[in-house]
Structure 1
């Protein structure tokens, strides 16, 4: 009788455990449903009436617009969750909190479901709020981002998503890792990784591409190319997007909307630049000839993109969508140099809050960092990601400046003086923030 009673109790315990396990599994199960995607763009180019424009901190004025700037948006929705990725042709997102909030309202989502990033082109008027004359440009950027988002929502259609990783040989280190006397170092690290996400209709027609590559967009930065001044331009990523959008799926190339995002590029630059510093002749400037460099590098980059797209696997249509928004908090510092003596001093400052965000669509992640990461730091962060196919997007809304490998802080370079974080903390803090699942 005792044995029978023990057996009944054991059976009840096992059954209860199985029920509990089933309930637990059900709670953590992520529902996969049909993906819908919409994409759109809006022109945000400063009006011609603004030129010539004497920008703050620049030796020459901006005298004209060479090519248009855009705000581009992709909206992803599976009926359970909606997320928005916006890319702006700018050096940084102006008034980031207000812009992110406006985009979230336009999409009907919470701000944690929105990632706003930039192509990081330096050939703009730099509307960061410091120059009050540029408020109309800031308002135009926000309006463009909002309208692109609204149009993307309106164009939602059943879609698939696919991911590819390849390499492109369009960048080089900028020499700061080893404090080179020239503009690059022959031995410093340079990541060539090119990540691509393709959204397609159910009939396999392209809807949009997101391309991600680690280089500053500064082929034409401070190159005097028109009437004794600089020209506004989307530079390398802008030209790349233009070529791919113009192709618009012809012969398997391009897409109607292309978001060219910045990878970990704090110490990376285009392979060639129009205005280049040499160790023997100082600065040399190709001027108007620099636009041929932009075009040549953009075609090299688009070739690498198109070759990868042609071999992409068939995209997934039933997917889960998750979003995450948090911060990596690290100790801060300011680095100063006495102009008379050359003495370097480090001053401790308040903690720095690095914005961290992620949109995960099945096993593909858009991982956003509100900072300008050095290439080797980006590789470390990306490789530590818990998501299989992670595209690391830097310079998202709320950018805090440069984040560099510890060895770079031993040099006295532009990036080091522009870094607000104390060495030894940031990389680990960012990795830990991305390790969170919610």
Structure 2
């Protein structure tokens, strides 16, 4: 009986500690209107002080290059769900980093597309230190990712990083960083005059709203073409369909998912160097048919290419010298990881398991098109609120996700209390971020 009493006391003591810890570290959700909050004023002041891009001194020049990212060792796949922590064992299709460097005599910028789930914040931090090796700064680099859930993982330490990308492997971040630097450096050594053209085509029938049944979708396939006098050309393709055609149980394959199949097809049929970047992928999933997901991946790419190729043929690139890059560091509301609709854990717990990475908005103008890059899965339902701002400036607008930070999902504010994956589990920074992001992104667009 003596040992039973000791055991019971230990158990009661542990329960008391758990209860005390919970009481001290569970706090209410902060519903203060964002425009009354310090974080808003800090970011708004930065935005107001941000100068617009300097005028061009020369016509636009561009160069492009790719580097193979496929490692000589296996890694976990970066992509949640049943894939979590499990290594891919065979290469279905290789993964790459692609870069386009642009220069107008005043500004030199790089657009980098990664065949990864996101642009890892760990890689962004490494690039900030190493880009001067090739004459660049982080503020002059615009990154995006294809968002395939079957590519290289192991790039994020910590508990949350492990859940997203598997166990951290110290070889991965230097590998990705090195290949990005090589691609940018090779691209800038191939600068030549280019003309620029933009178009878009309708891809709405190929996606669905995965947050709201029968809800609206932003399904434009957006295309920017650069062409050298030699006829050599490059195409930037942005689209908002989540790259989740491959089933999560098929973690054994390293693959770029449908964006890879699409890029390969476009490069083969058009001869253009082609980059794919995930657009406003939040809330938008691909419509697919049939149980064979690898076959569905090719079919989905075919459906997209049948829309894209005629649109590309209709583009008539024209001379242009407009080029500018703006970076707006974001201050955010404290982390709001919720345990119920109205209660959240204290911010220090979030930082302890995820890390504290900087976040920012980036805007890149190429000719009459402005790309706005976000540090999140940005919901396509927010894009229509931004389009009139771009039209007022006579600019084409392309919104992309995964610009080097990652803060979860940004969705329309009216759905904050909807108990869904995007609005609850992956909303990490509290209410009203939809309107906050739209306001700051609008301000950036107006700078051009």
The 8 Å contact of residues 171 and 268 in structure 1, kept in 2 or not, is answered as no
Distance (whole Å) between structure 1 residues aligned to residue 435 and residue 78 of structure 2? 38
Structure showing greater radius of gyration is 1
Distance (whole Å) between structure 2 residues aligned to residue 117 and residue 36 of structure 1? 21
What is residue 84 of structure 1 aligned with on the other side? 110
Distance (whole Å) between structure 1 residues aligned to residue 78 and residue 124 of structure 2? 27
For 1:39, which of 58, 64, 70 is the aligned residue? Answer: 64
What is residue 369 of structure 1 aligned with on the other side? 374
> Structure 1 235/395 Cα, relative in aligned 2: closer, same or farther at 3 Å?
same
What is residue 115 of structure 1 aligned with on the other side? 142
> Structure 1 33/125 Cα, relative in aligned 2: closer, same or farther at 3 Å?
closer
For 1:231, which of 246, 253, 272 is the aligned residue? Answer: 253
What is residue 306 of structure 2 aligned with on the other side? 303
Q: Which runs of 5+ in 2 are unaligned?
A: 1-51, 158-165, 349-355
What is residue 409 of structure 2 aligned with on the other side? 402
> Structure 1 171/344 Cα, relative in aligned 2: closer, same or farther at 3 Å?
farther
What is residue 74 of structure 2 aligned with on the other side? 50
After the TM superposition, which of the residue ranges 168-177 and 374-383 deviates more from structure 2? 168-177
For 1:196, which of 200, 219, 223 is the aligned residue? Answer: 223
Q: Secondary structure at the match of 2:227?
A: strand
- Please state how far the C-alpha of 1:209 moved relative to its aligned partner: 0.7
Q: Using CA pairs below 8 Å that are at least 6 residues apart, which structure has the higher relative contact order? A: 2
What is residue 46 of structure 2 aligned with on the other side? none
The 8 Å contact of residues 201 and 220 in structure 2, kept in 1 or not, is answered as yes
The 8 Å contact of residues 176 and 408 in structure 1, kept in 2 or not, is answered as no
What is residue 334 of structure 1 aligned with on the other side? 336
The 8 Å contact of residues 376 and 405 in structure 1, kept in 2 or not, is answered as yes
Distance (whole Å) between structure 1 residues aligned to residue 168 and residue 317 of structure 2? 49
**Structure with more of its chain in strand, by fraction:** 1
What is residue 324 of structure 1 aligned with on the other side? 326
> Structure 1 107/309 Cα, relative in aligned 2: closer, same or farther at 3 Å?
farther
The 8 Å contact of residues 64 and 232 in structure 1, kept in 2 or not, is answered as yes
Distance (whole Å) between structure 2 residues aligned to residue 107 and residue 28 of structure 1? 22
Distance (whole Å) between structure 2 residues aligned to residue 30 and residue 54 of structure 1? 41
Distance (whole Å) between structure 1 residues aligned to residue 437 and residue 196 of structure 2? 30
After the TM superposition, which of the residue ranges 323-332 and 205-214 deviates more from structure 2? 323-332
Q: Secondary structure at the match of 1:50?
A: coil
> Structure 1 32/107 Cα, relative in aligned 2: closer, same or farther at 3 Å?
same
> Structure 1 273/123 Cα, relative in aligned 2: closer, same or farther at 3 Å?
farther
Q: Secondary structure at the match of 2:432?
A: coil
- Please state how far the C-alpha of 1:141 moved relative to its aligned partner: 1.4
Q: CA RMSD for the aligned pairs?
A: 2.9
> Structure 1 100/431 Cα, relative in aligned 2: closer, same or farther at 3 Å?
farther
Distance (whole Å) between structure 2 residues aligned to residue 173 and residue 140 of structure 1? 35
TM-score normalised by length of structure 1: 0.77
Matched, 1:155 2:190: yes
What is residue 38 of structure 2 aligned with on the other side? none
Matched, 1:411 2:406: no
> Structure 1 398/308 Cα, relative in aligned 2: closer, same or farther at 3 Å?
same
TM-score normalised by length of structure 2: 0.76
Distance (whole Å) between structure 2 residues aligned to residue 100 and residue 426 of structure 1? 28
The 8 Å contact of residues 52 and 64 in structure 1, kept in 2 or not, is answered as no
**Structure with more of its chain in helix, by fraction:** 2
Q: Secondary structure at the match of 1:397?
A: coil
> Structure 1 51/333 Cα, relative in aligned 2: closer, same or farther at 3 Å?
closer
- Please state how far the C-alpha of 1:348 moved relative to its aligned partner: 6.8
Matched, 1:64 2:90: yes
**Total equivalences in the alignment:** 374
> Structure 1 58/336 Cα, relative in aligned 2: closer, same or farther at 3 Å?
same
> Structure 1 206/326 Cα, relative in aligned 2: closer, same or farther at 3 Å?
same
The 8 Å contact of residues 335 and 346 in structure 1, kept in 2 or not, is answered as yes
> Structure 1 55/235 Cα, relative in aligned 2: closer, same or farther at 3 Å?
closer
1:152-201 deviations in whole A, cap 9, x for unaligned?
01111111111112212464235323xxxxxxx3x211111111000101
- Please state how far the C-alpha of 1:32 moved relative to its aligned partner: 5.2
What is residue 105 of structure 1 aligned with on the other side? 132
